[in-house]
C-alpha cells in the first residue's frame, strides 16, 4: 500500500479525515486557552490538483470535487464550513485547484495563541513544507520519523491539543506502530486528544487493529468509518477510518449528522456505508 499524500490529495478519504480534523479543532477553539496540534505525517502541506501526482490518479474529483459542488443540508453545511473555508482560502478565484493538507487546514483555523508542530520524514517533502510555512512563527517544522516523537515531544506545554497521526502506509507494520505509539503517548499525556487515520482495504487487518486497541486498556476510543464500495478481490482501498482517543463530547453527534450525507455523496453508485461506535468507553 502507498497512500503518500501527493497522489491522493483531496480524495474521499481526505474529505472525511479533514472534516473530522476541523470538528476537533472547532471544539478546541471553544475555550480561550491556547492549544497545540502535533501533525506527525505532515507531507508538503498543500497540493496542486492539476500537478502530475494528483492528476495521475484524479481521485480528488470524486472527493473534494464532489463535496464542493454539492448542495448540502443546512446542518451539514454548517459542520463542514471550517473545512471548506480552509479549502476556499487556497483558491481565492473560486476555481478548485489547490488542496490544503492537514497542516494548512490546521493553520487556517489556529488563533494567535495556538501552535502547530508538523513532522515529516521524507527530506524533499520536509523541505517543501518548510518553504510553505517560511516566516510563520506559529508553526514549527521538523524532519523526523514520526514514530520517534511520542516519547520526546509529549506533553506540549499548553497541556491542550491534538495529535494527528496519518501514516502513508508505505511499509508493513503501520497498524502495530500506531497501537504502540498510542500506548506510549497516553502514558505521557493522558488528557490529550489523538486522531489516528487508517485505510480500509483488508477488513481483517482493520479488525486486528481494533482488537489491539481494545486490549490496550485505553479508555474513550471512538471509531469513525466510511466506505464507498464493498470489499473486492484483489483488495483495493474501499474505505477510510479514524479512531479518536478522548474525542470532544460533541464529535459523535456531529459525525452522525455528517457521515450519512458524505457516504451517499462520495460512494460508487450509492453503495456507501458508515459506522460509528466506541472501541472503548461510553
Average pLDDT of the chain to the nearest whole number: 93
Compute the distance between CA of residue 252 and CA of residue 276 in angstroms, rounded to an integer.
7
14 given a catalytic annotation: no
Of 166, 264, 268, 277, the catalytic one is 166
pLDDT digits (tens, 9 = 90+) for 120-134: 999 999 999 999 999
Predicted confidence (pLDDT) at residue 213 exceeds the cutoff of 90: yes
Listing DSSP states for 69-125 in one string gives H----HHHHHHHHHHHHHHHHT-TTS---EEE-HHHHHHHH--TT-EEEEEE-SHHH
The percentage of residues in the chain with a pLDDT greater than 90, rounded to a whole number, is 81
The percentage of residues in the chain with a pLDDT greater than 70, rounded to a whole number, is 98
pTM value is: 0.95
Predicted confidence (pLDDT) at residue 200 exceeds the cutoff of 80: yes
Compute the distance between CA of residue 85 and CA of residue 232 in angstroms, rounded to an integer.
35
Q: What average pLDDT does range 75-94 have in this prediction? A: 97
Residue with cell 461510553: 282
Predicted confidence (pLDDT) at residue 3 exceeds the cutoff of 60: no
pLDDT digits (tens, 9 = 90+) for 106-120: 999 999 999 999 999
User: What pLDDT sits at residue 277?
Assistant: 96
Q: What average pLDDT does range 91-97 have in this prediction? A: 94
Amino acid at each position: 500500500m502507498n497512500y503518500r499524500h501527493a497522489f491522493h490529495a483531496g480524495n474521499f478519504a481526505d474529505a472525511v479525515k479533514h472534516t473530522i480534523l476541523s470538528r476537533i479543532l472547532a471544539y478546541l477553539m471553544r475555550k480561550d486557552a491556547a492549544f497545540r496540534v502535533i501533525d506527525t505525517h505532515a507531507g508538503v502541506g498543500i497540493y496542486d490538483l492539476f500537478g502530475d501526482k494528483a492528476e495521475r490518479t484524479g481521485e480528488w474529483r470524486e472527493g473534494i470535487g464532489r463535496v464542493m459542488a454539492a448542495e448540502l443540508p443546512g446542518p451539514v453545511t454548517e459542520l463542514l464550513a471550517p473545512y471548506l473555508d480552509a479549502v476556499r482560502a487556497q483558491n481565492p478565484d473560486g476555481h478548485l485547484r489547490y488542496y490544503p493538507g492537514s497542516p494548512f487546514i490546521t493553520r487556517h483555523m489556529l488563533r494567535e495563541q495556538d501552535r502547530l508542530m508538523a513532522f515529516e520524514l521524507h527530506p524533499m517533502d520536509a523541505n517543501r513544507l518548510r518553504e510553505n510555512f517560511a516566516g510563520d512563527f506559529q508553526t514549527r517544522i521538523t524532519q523526523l520519523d514520526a514514530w520517534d516523537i511520542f516519547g520526546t515531544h509529549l506533553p506540549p506545554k499548553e497541556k491542550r491539543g491534538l495529535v494527528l497521526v496519518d501514516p502513508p502506509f508505505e511499509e508493513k507494520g503501520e497498524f502495530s506502530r500506531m497501537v504502540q505509539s498510542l500506548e506510549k503517548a497516553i502514558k505521557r499525556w493522558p488528557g490529550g486528544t489523538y486522531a489516528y487515520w487508517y485505510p480500509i482495504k483488508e477488513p481483517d487487518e482493520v479488525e486486528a487493529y481494533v482488537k489491539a486497541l481494545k486490549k490496550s486498556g485505553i479508555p474513550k476510543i471512538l471509531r469513525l468509518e466510511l466506505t464507498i464500495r464493498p470489499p473486492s478481490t484483489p483488495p483495493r482501498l474501499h474505505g477510510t477510518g479514524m479512531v479518536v482517543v478522548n474525542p470532544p463530547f460533541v464529535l459523535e453527534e456531529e459525525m452522525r449528522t455528517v457521515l450519512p450525507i458524505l457516504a451517499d455523496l462520495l460512494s460508487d453508485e450509492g453503495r456507501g456505508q458508515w459506522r460509528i461506535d466506541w472501541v472503548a468507553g461510553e
